[in-house]
Amino acid sequence: MGSAADDEQLHVLFFPLMAPGHLIPSVDIARILAFRGVKVTILTTPLNALHISHIVDRDRRSGIHIQIHQTRFPSVEAGLPEGCENASSISDQPDMLPNFLKALSMLQQPFEEILQELRPDYVVADMFYPWATDVAGKLGIPRLIFHSTSFFTLCAVDSLTRYKPHANIVSDMEAFVLPGIPDQIEMTRSQLPDDIKDPNNISELHTCIWKADESCYGTLVNSFFELEQAYAEHYRKVMGRKAWHLGPVCLSNKNFTEKAQRGNINKANIDANECLCWLDTKKPDSVLFVCFGSMSRFSSTQLHEIAMGLEDSGHSFIWAVRKTEDDQEPWLPDGFEKRMEGKGLIVRGWAPQVLILEHPAVGGFVTHCGWNSILESVSAGVPMITWPLFAEQFYNEKVVTMVLKIGVEVGTKTWRVFAGEEKELVKRDAIKEAVTRLMDSGEEAEEMRSRVRKLKEMARRAVEKGGSTDADLTALIEDLRLHKRSV
Ligand code: UDP
């Protein structure tokens, strides 16, 4: 029989999506809860477990209750190559996405069996497992949801789903306003994800995710109140959702090792120390960091334009390039790396993003607008050049450029999965212009820099004792405890 303390201890099972942009913040949240005395289990597959086990093992050695529970990923059954357990390994093959989604849906049965075995008090399941609410519900376990995005995006998607403002417009490039949200925000149909683009044919997955958002016990959001106050309130009060803001979760990684190892999914040609030593030789705010997250794959033509745009801008840069299949790298302009010696550093593979952004030499970030990247940039006080590509990145761009006014747009207008498809080429001139606007210390750039620095301070205060995030974390744990006692 367990002791009274055991009975009191909450057990929360996390079931993150196997994609870096979801797995990384889920593990951060899991650890944050574990450090507050909650017993935490992270459910994932063997290859994904390898990416996080060093962090979890270290935490366990420090005495907190955190563990990984593994389940097999049905890659082959779903028509994926053997060993493909993470969305990032199919990001150069967008046609494999349906197979990946099929594999996710096949996890339903093992998930149920694991819940029966482990009997956690709560489940925090990613939005990509909409069925988790019913599966957990059958066993009397309340399900919380994690979307890995902003309050703004959740409100924007609700506006689109509810009011369908894109139904009666003529062209994909015609601007329409998102009705019912706190700011006057315009979008075009070309910027919307495929699953919601045609209002008469919204995908089943989208509908299921949105129903799960409405019917689950509550939502965990990686954001902080001061960043998105109006949207945090809209989500709770107007949309009527129960939500807790626990971010920026990247700030829970305190030391060099934690930051360097966080999410490190593959080896790069240059390690964290080398990047930081290179940055040490640069003046404050003089270096641009260029990184498009874990999933984007550009065509050779686009990579070539980026290289030329960076060179033309005359600014120093660190550019993280996802490994391409072609070792010859035909996209690199002739003699580029020689000319850029001391001026530009190319990281091939996984860059230590948080460490780079926090370095005082970094003064701008070219980002694809993944929500983690935006929050990491805000937490480091770095203004952005926004280059959204797919997923919910076009909504997140609006947060940066229109709501917070801490970034400039490079000007992409067309959503395409993983960026692989070349629907829209951003030319070197547009890249150079955006870099100049952000890095040449003009009035506009200085105002953005000053705004993002204030947000950085707010982010840091939010996670400190008594800050808004810290208080919401306490409220979450209290709520879960009370609810557990009441049933
Ligand atoms: N990331 C990193 N190094 C890389 C690429 C990505 O550390 O070279 C991290 C980044 O810090 C962030 C996550 O991977 O935490 C990417 O999440 P985001 O939501 O920004 O974009 P996604 O990869 O989901 O498109």
pLDDT one-digit tens code per residue, 429-449: 999 999 999 999 899 999 999
Amino acid letter, residue 313: S
**ipTM tops the 0.85 cut:** yes
Tens of pLDDT, residues 63-120:
999 999 999 999 999 999 999 999 998 888 889 999 999 999 999 999 999 999 999 9
Q: Which atom of ligand 1 is nearest to the CA of 373?
A: 20
- Residue 14, SS3 per DSSP: strand
308 C-alpha to ligand 1 centroid (Å): 24
Which residues, 6+ apart, have CB-to-CB distance to 43 below 8 Å?
13, 14, 15, 68, 69, 70, 71, 111, 114
Pocket-testing residue among 250, 373, 375, 384, ligand 1, by greatest number of atoms within 8 A of Cβ: 373
The whole-angstrom separation of Cα 343 and Cα 315 is: 7
Integer CA distances (angstroms), 239 to 162, 203, 367, in order: 11, 21, 29
Question: Residue 6 pLDDT > 60, yes or no?
Answer: no
Please confirm, yes or no, whether 126 is among the known catalytic residues. Answer: yes
Active site residue 6: no
**Side-chain half-sphere CA neighbours of 10 within 13 A:** 25
Question: For a pocket test of ligand 1, which of 251, 353, 358, 379 has the largest count of ligand atoms closer than 8 A to its C-beta?
Answer: 353
Catalytic residue among 59, 121, 126, 158: 126
Angle made by CA atoms 112, 115, 116, in degrees to the nearest 5: 85
Does pLDDT of 422 surpass 80? no
Alpha-carbon distance of 132 to 107, in angstroms, equals 10
74: cis peptide before it, omega within 30°? no
Ligand 1 centroid – CA 352 distance (Å) = 9
What is the mean predicted confidence (pLDDT) over 325-345? Answer: 86
| Ligand 1 centroid, distance to 373 Cα (angstroms) | 6
- Looking at residue 2, what is its pLDDT? 43
Q: Give distance in angstroms: CA of 387 to centre of ligand 1.
A: 14
* Token pair 């700011």 in the structure block, residue: 183
Average pLDDT for 4-13:
78
Three-state DSSP state, 472: helix
pLDDT > 70 fraction of the chain, expressed in percent and rounded? 96
**Residue located nearest, by CA, to atom 18 of ligand 1:** 370
The DSSP 8-state label assigned to residue 402 in this structure reads: I
> Average pLDDT of 223-230?
98
Marked catalytic residue, from 22, 51, 234, 304:
22
Tens-digit pLDDT profile for residues 355-378:
999 999 999 999 999 999 999 999
Can you give 364-387 as a three-state secondary structure string? EEEECCCHHHHHHHHHHCCCEEEC
pLDDT at 3: 47
**Token pair listed for 395:** 């909504």
Decide which of 383 and 269 is more confident.
383
Band of residue 417 on the pLDDT scale cut at 50, 70, 90: confident
Q: How large is the angle between the packed helices 20-35 and 46-61, nearest 10 degrees?
A: 20
pLDDT at position 264 is 72
* Pocket residues: Cβ below 6 A from ligand 1: 20-21, 24, 263, 291, 293-295, 320, 350-351, 353-354, 370-373, 376
Please give the angle made by the CA atoms of 51, 372 and 379, to the nearest 5 degrees: 115
Count the residues in the chain: 487
* Tokens 């996802």 -> residue: 322
pLDDT digits (tens, 9 = 90+) for 9-63: 999 999 999 999 999 999 999 999 999 999 999 999 999 999 999 999 999 999 9
Whether pTM exceeds 0.80 = yes
- Residue 396 CA to ligand 1 center (angstroms) comes to 14
Residue with the larger pLDDT of the pair 323 and 478: 478
